[in-house]
Structure 1
Amino acid sequence: MRLLVIEDDKDLNRQLVAALEAVGYAVDSAFDGEEGHFLGDTEPYDAVILDIGLPKMDGIAVLTSWRKAGRTMPVLILTARDGWTEKVRGFDAGADDYVAKPFHVEEILARLRALLRRAAGHASSELTCGPVALDTRSGRVLVAGAPVKLTSHEYRLLAYLMHHSGRVVSRTEIVEHLYDQDFDRDSNTIEVFIGRLRKKLGVDVLHTVRGLGYVMEPEPADRDGTSAGAAGGPLNPAR
């Protein structure tokens, strides 16, 4: 999942980015409202942490502009502890949740997990696809009850696909939502990680839909007359 942190306090911004990256998110950051507004308006973030009191363009104006432009990503606003009026203004502008300063990072992480689950239509912290289970709270992955050890990149990819299980996800979408702005989008990294995931999971749940992308499904997908689990085709993922 790819997140955006917009916070003008540089120390707090860096602390949030470090905490989010430590649990597997790809994170971009901005230190003022104008830069944050531009990033949120041009990049496909899965969620945004948005401070209300920002220089150049305040958080409410940023959020209002995004919603008017049709940007629907979940937004968690940061407010002062006694700023109940800011909370009301934030919700009226389109915020999905809020956290009052000062806060514990664990609360931010928990609220983000909930926002991401709801945005993908999941009610529980445990995502399942056939025998594969992924707990977004603990970061554990099980296959038929047995734990599977994944690297942070492999986990990030699996989590995104399982959040969107049953839907074909293109390579472009994966790159846009799993990596920050510095990622080499012309590399074959995605194909390599798809191959590694298939090998580590050891079950037939991650399929290639030729010419379109990948899908997590308990049974092989049959789209346009092609078995999605087949190797080869334009995407030719490594196995």
Structure 2
Amino acid sequence: MNILLVEDESLLLHHLKCELENVGYRVIGCKKGEDALYLFDNFNLDIAIIDLGLPGIGGLELIKTVRSKDIKTPILVLTARSNWRDKVKSLNIGADDYLVKPFELEELKARINALVRRSAGFSKPLLTVGSFNLDTVSKKFKVNSDTVSLTKYEFMIMEFFMLNNHKLLSRAVLEDLVYGTNSGPESNVIEVLVNRLRKKLLKHSGINPIKTIRGEGYRLEWEIS
């Protein structure tokens, strides 16, 4: 999961980035609204966390500009302001949720997961596609009632496939999800991970729902039950 974190307090930016990366998220951090606009335009983002009190282009203006471009990335607002008008205004111009500082990291993670699930059409922590069940909280994956052991990266890819059921996912998008810019253009890590997933799914379900679209990428093809 790719998270954009826009926070002008250096210490808080560093702390949140480290904490979120420690639980498996990929975090792109910046301090200015101007930099955030560039990142919105040029990166595949699953969610953005935006502080309202930014220098230059403020948080509210940033959100308004992003939504004017029809960018639908879920936005979670961080604010130290207790004024209810700021909260209402941020929601009215396009933010999806807000969190008032100080906050607990566990609450932030819960809000992040809820927004990403909601944007993909899921309302609960349990993702269900066909006979596949993936718990985004406990990090457990089951086929019917059988628990299937997945590595960290296999779990990340399986979750991404399930959140994007029937959508074409390019190798580049999957590489960015797993390794970011550290993965070279000739890397075959995605092919290896997808093949391992296929073997495990075939063993436990008897089918292979991950289809290869030649020259384009992969697609999970199974109806949501």
TM-score, normalisation: structure 2: 0.88
Residue 217 of structure 1 is matched in structure 2 by 221
Match of 1:104 in 2: 104
1:120-154 per-residue CA deviation (whole Å, 9 max, x = no partner) reads: 11122211233321011221111232222222211
Distance 1:109 1:20 in 2: 8
Is the 1:175–1:185 contact (alpha carbons within 8 Å) kept by the matching residues of 2?
A: no
Q: How many angstroms apart in 2 are the aligned matches of 1:181 and 1:99?
A: 30
The match for 1:236 is: none
Distance 1:179-1:5 versus aligned 2 partners, 3 A rule: farther
Q: What are the equivalent positions in structure 2 for 1:1-239 lying under 5 Å apart?
A: 1-201=1-201, 202=203, 203=205, 204-218=208-222
Residues 169 and 214 of structure 1 are in contact (CA less than 8 Å); yes or no, is this contact kept in structure 2? yes
The one-letter amino acid of 2:51's match is D
Shift of residue 56, structure 1, vs aligned partner: 2.6
Distance, in Å, in 2 between the alignment partners of 1:211 and 1:67 is: 32
Once the 2 structures are TM-superposed, how far is the Cα of residue 46 of structure 1 from its aligned partner? Answer: 0.9
Partner letter of residue 151 of structure 1?
T
Q: Report the alpha carbon displacement of residue 178 of structure 1 after superposing the two structures with TM.
A: 4.6
The answer as to whether partners of 1:25 and 1:178 remain within 8 angstroms in 2 is: no
Equivalent residues of 2:132, 2:144 under 8 A apart: yes
User: Share of identical aligned residues, percent?
Assistant: 39
Moved more, 144-153 or 4-13: 144-153
- Cα 1:178/1:50, change in 2 over 3 Å: farther
Distance between the aligned counterparts of 1:144 and 1:12, measured in 2?
42
Q: How far does residue 177 in structure 1 lie from its aligned partner after superposition? A: 4.4
Question: Higher mean Cα deviation, 95-104 or 161-170?
Answer: 161-170
**Shift in alpha-carbon separation, 1:185–1:58, aligned structure 2, 3 A:** farther
Q: Give 1:87 deviation, angstroms.
A: 1.0
CA distance in 1 between counterparts of 2:170 and 2:119 reads: 19
2:212 aligns to what SS in structure 1? strand
Distance 1:66 1:113 in 2: 21
Change (3 A) 1:210 1:17: same
Q: CA deviation at 1:33?
A: 1.9
How far apart are the structure 1 equivalents of 2:4 and 2:185? Answer: 19
Greater per-residue helix proportion: 2
My pick for the range that moved more, 7-16 or 100-109, is 7-16
Q: For 2:44 and 2:109, locate their aligned partners in 1 and report how far apart those are by CA, in whole Å.
A: 20
**What amino acid does structure 2 have at the position aligned with 1:102?**
P
Q: How far off is 1:185 after superposition? A: 4.4
* Structure 1, 72-81 or 20-29: larger mean CA deviation: 20-29
| 1:212 Cα offset (Å) | 3.2
Gaps of 5+ in 1: 220-239
- Structure 1 residues 5 and 129 mapped into 2: Cα distance closer, same or farther (>3 Å)? same
